A and B are shown apart, each in its own frame.
Chain A
Amino acid sequence: MSNRESIGLSDEGTLIPLLKKGDEEAFRYLLNQYQTKLFGIAYGITSDREESLDIVQDVFVKVFQHIGAFRGESGLATWIYRIAVNQSLNWQRRWKRKFGWRHRPLGDEANDDNQGLILKDPSPQAVYEQKELETVLREGLKGLPAEARVVFVLNEVEGLSYDEIADVLKIKKGTVSSRLYYARKKLRKSLEKYMEEGNEEEQGL
Chain B
Amino acid sequence: MKRSKACDSMLLSRHMDGELSPAEYDWLMSHLAACPDCQEELRQNEALRTLYKSDLAEERSQVSFQGLERKVLKQVSQKRLSWWMRHKELFFSKKLLIPATAMAAMVLLFFSLIRQPLLPPDPSAIITSLSGDMTSVIVLETPKTRQTIIWFNEAS
Contact = CB atoms under 8 A, between A and B. Distances in A.
A40 B60 contact: yes
B17 A162 contact: yes
B112 interface: no
Sorting the interface of chain A by its residue count into under 10, 10 to 19, 20 to 34 or 35 or more gives 35 or more
B71 A57 contact: yes
Contacts, number: 99
Nearest to B78: A61
Interface string A34-46: 0110011001100
B63 A61 contact: no
Given A31-B69, A60-B76, A188-B48, A134 B19 contact: no
Q: Interface on chain B toward A: helix, strand, loop, or mixed SS?
A: helix
A181 B13 contact: yes
Contact of A195 (B44, B63, B65, B73): B44
A27 B60 CA distance: 22
B62 to A, nearest CB: 7
Contacts of A177: 10, 13-14, 19
A199 interface: yes
B10 A178 contact: yes
Interface in B37-62: 40-41, 43-45, 47-49, 51-56, 58-60, 62
A27 B10 contact: no
A193 B88 CA distance: 64
Nearest to B45: A184
A132 to B, nearest CB: 11
Contacts of B63: 39, 49, 53
A143 interface: no
A119 B63 CA distance: 24
B99 to A, nearest CB: 28
Interface stretch (A1-9, A70-78, A83-91, A153-161): A153-161
Given A40-B56, A43-B59, A181-B13, A187 B48 contact: yes
Interface string B13-39: 110110100000000000000000000
B75 interface: yes
B81 to A, nearest CB: 12
Interface string B93-124: 00000000000000000000000000000000
B142 interface: no
Given A31-B69, A61-B75, A155 B17 contact: yes
B85 interface: no
B80 interface: yes
30 contacts: A24-B73, A28-B73, A31-B72, A35-B65, A35-B72, A36-B60, A36-B65, A49-B59, A56-B68, A61-B75, A61-B76, A65-B79, A119-B51, A134-B51, A134-B54, A134-B58, A137-B55, A156-B49, A162-B17, A162-B19, A177-B10, A177-B14, A181-B9, A181-B10, A181-B13, A188-B41, A188-B45, A191-B44, A191-B48, A195-B44
- The 4 lowest CB-CB distance pairs between A and B, nearest first, are A134-B55, A181-B13, A60-B72, A181-B10
Interface of B: 9-10, 13-14, 16-17, 19, 40-41, 43-45, 47-49, 51-56, 58-60, 62-63, 65, 68-69, 71-73, 75-76, 79-80
